[in-house]
Structure 1
Amino acid sequence: MESSMEIATSDRGLLSHILTRLSEPQDLLSASMVCTVWNDVLTRAAAKKLTIRSRVRLPSVLSRFKHVKHLNLSMCIDQLQDQDLEMASESLKNLSILTLGNPDEPQECISNLGFVGFVNNCTMLEHVALTFIPNLQDSGIEAMTRVCNRLSAINLVNCRNLSDDALKSLKNCENIQELGLKGHFGFTPSGLVKIGENCPTLLKLSLELEPSVDITLALQSLATYCRNLQELSLKF
């Protein structure tokens, strides 16, 4: 008969229940190196979500978990570099969800060019949340909307260098259902009109902009073009 230890180390259902409770990348990495069974279980589990809290962990973790579909870098305590994004994009070809940036500290070392390189490698993206990426420019959003044709949700927070051209590029997103804009941007009232004109498939929209930004024309545009809108959140 198998011992309880043998069962614990070979039963994939039991292992998945136990190992998926690990959250720290270093713990995941250590467990994945125990044996091929554990590595296989963790690799499959990691396909759901991987949260990185320190950029120094990226090389070792990414090399072990190449099937990750949700990469969360919002809790990273370090300033991420363009090469970190390049490394991630080269490893995670099936990535569908990206959460990047922290509301408390801007990621000032990520360039617009670095972000463009990232999205050009990760064309399977469906949900993208970008927070406090000060160097992100309109051309970065345009590149993302152009090459990632599965995009259905975009949430942007305090990306201050984005202007109306970023909103114009939303016309590339044929299936976008969710859009969130919060904080400081370079959008104008006439630019915000493009949300309605370019996103008729929207189901959910959240606008939390500066009080000085007039959204009257934007709301009229939404009423005209976004007939399927189910949820609208406005905060000033």
Structure 2
Amino acid sequence: MMGEGEDRVAVVTGGSSGIGLSVCETLLSKGYKVAFFGKKTEHVADALEHLILRHGVANVMGRSLDVSLASQVETFFEEVTACWHAPDTLVCSAGISPKAALGPDDCIDLDLEQWQRVLAVNLTGVMLCCRQVSAPMIASGFGRIIMVGSIAGRTQPKIAGTAYCATKSALSGLMRSLMVQTAGHGITVNLVAPGRIVTPMTGPIDHPVNQAAIGRIPVGRLGQPGDIAHAIAFLASRKAGFINGAVIDVNGGEFSPP
């Protein structure tokens, strides 16, 4: 019997830090080959060195690119396919969450250029990656697509800005549309919505914003990247074949939908 990750190829966007890096680690530990990308060259280089040291150069690929640029995304997926085979797993973790100097931005005063950049990365970038994997997954009769949303796209935002909330909410619509388009081909499309997770984006645990968040979370702590990565790894597995079009909240109970 084949192992869960045997001959599996995963692409992880935003895989050079935070949740994305933890997803890379988790999938590699399960036997997947993993290709990831990030925007900052130095972060990609550091992550690639770390992952190769732990999992071997033959199993990891890392590149620096802008997920909002279709030509760069297309070239990356062509390289992955040429190196191994077309990805059967896509984890869309890349995202940006700019903050105003005094807290979350206000829609009335939101800078239009910033709005467009957040949409380009957090929403258009996901679409561009999904477009690259959908046809090969349909042809092979198997695929797993997992989008990383946010609690900010599920309920009243407490920290995140307007553009971030809008894009993370929009991902659920993209997920449902893609689920319908790929129906009947062994492909599942799901979304994981993290709560407050300790990453470079959220800052130190002792920051007042994070301490306030802990007070709202019934389990009494912030989440760790691994909390999200393990949920994603299950959704990527063959055992999760009947979970489709779902939003999985991983937030310690901070938000519990009716």
Coarse TM-score class (shorter-chain normalised): 0.3 to 0.5
Indicate the structure whose relative CO is greater, using CA pairs within 8 Å and at least 6 residues apart: 2
What's the TM-score, normalizing by structure 2?
Answer: 0.31
